[in-house]
Homo-oligomer: A and B are copies of this chain.
Amino acid sequence: MDMTPFEQSESSVRGYSRAYPTVFASASNARQTAEDGTSYIDFFAGAGVLNFGHNNPRMKAAMIAFLESDGVAHSLDTYTTTKRDFIEKFRDVVLQPRNMDYRMQFTGPTGTNAVEAALKLARLTTGRREIVAFSNGFHGMTLGALAATANDAFRKWAGVPLTDVVRLPFETSPGGDTAVADYGAALRNASSGLTPPAAFLVEVVQAEGGVNLATPAWLHQVQDLAREVGALFIIDDIQAGCGRTGSYFSFDGMGLDPDIITLAKGLGGFGTPIAMNLNKPSVDDNWSPGAHTGTFRGQGLSFVAGTVALDYFTDDVLMSAVASKGAVMRDRLEAIAAAHPEQDWEVRGRGMMQALDTGDGAFAKRVQQAAFETGLLIGPCGTGGQVIKLIPPLTIPDEDLAEGLDILDKAITTAGVA
């Protein structure tokens, strides 16, 4: 396997390739195969994009048919038949059964662009500047979204002050139990030195931030405060949405009513880029035509595969599998934690995003390396990378899931607790 071209000609900024020093040649469902024939079980799913597996056969067939029929692959924000199919299917499968009334905004095809658009719309709607974001939150890398991202490992490269964001502790962070109430009290005090924000931007499950779960009660507290002070309530469901936690949205069943929902990653199904915001009509009305543009907003292949992906939500087969496989993952991680009672490890997660918080980034890195060397791809997250996050494709076969968990178990032993 020749890695020289990468080492010589690709930017030093490359990162995952240092954790996985091989060259991948093909991939299918929950397995990636390297050029030298080594097969890896994938518990990372392209950072949570590949909910439906690599090269999902139904999507692949639809995409090939689309290509063969000269479908419109790139359309900006003009109307196309494939986009209409996607819109109608999303409306019928996702929105209408939930009685949700939202408009779909296809932004530039990345999560960070979706967040940038949401923040623009919130500022435009309210005429205010500040966005409330939370500790451990991750929302993207472009300057507007990066300002809302908490982790200093990303923020420190901005090179300019990241402004117009107010930071509160997330529910599970130190001070998280009182912070929202205290902030609300401060906003009601005209001598607090605070002005009301344009929006509260929150993840229901913080994925990159360490698989931290907010309770419905806390989320309602945030939403209620937003309503009280005239701010928008925005849920970033980019990594936790599209079925990952066991239902389409991570907040299904919680009785929440966000003004904007950001989606990306799993939305296109196949790994081709797409991002979409769901805006309440009264909020969306504040957009003027062309106020937020972008070249790659109309991605035919993503619409085609994304439309196929929505079939997984017309019945409960996949979501039931997520529940059962998620339980398998959860049980195994708890068994691993129980086997190391002296370590104070914590298992957290929902659906098929399950994680072991080891409290030790160096250890987690060793686990990642040992797992890679024995055929498993995992990605650490959280502060210093101390949380081992498992996000396999939702479609992973039971035997691959079991084998992957076995490899993980051994890798933890191999890594050697510090």
Number of copies: 4
Residue of B nearest to A22 (CB): B79
Asked if A220 CB lies within 8 Å of chain B CBs, one says: no
Q: A191 and B383: CB pair below 8 A? A: yes
Contact with B along A109-139 (1 / 0, CB 8 A): 1111100110110111000010001111100
Give the A interface residue count (CB, 8 A): 148
A417 → B minimal CB distance (Å): 22
Q: How far is the CB of A379 from chain B (nearest CB, A)?
A: 9
Using known A-B contacts A5-B87, A294-B141, determine if residue A104 contacts B11 with beta carbons closer than 8 Å: yes
Contact A17 B192 (CB under 8 A): no
Residues of B near A22 (CB, < 8 A) are 79
The reply to whether the CB of A10 lies closer than 8 angstroms to some CB of chain B is yes
The 8 A CB mask of A13-50 against B (1 = contact, 0 = none) is 11111101111111110001001000000000011111
Residues of chain A whose beta carbon lies under 8 Å from any beta carbon of chain B: 2-3, 5-6, 9-18, 20-28, 32, 35, 46-50, 54-55, 60, 63-64, 67-81, 83-84, 87-88, 91, 103-106, 108-113, 116-117, 119-120, 122-124, 129, 133-137, 141-145, 147, 149-155, 157-161, 163-165, 167, 169, 173-175, 178-179, 181-183, 185-186, 188-195, 198, 209-210, 264-265, 270-273, 277, 279, 284-285, 287-296, 299-301, 382-384
Pairs across A and B, CB under 8 Å, 7 listed: A22-B79, A24-B75, A25-B71, A109-B109, A109-B296, A136-B189, A175-B186
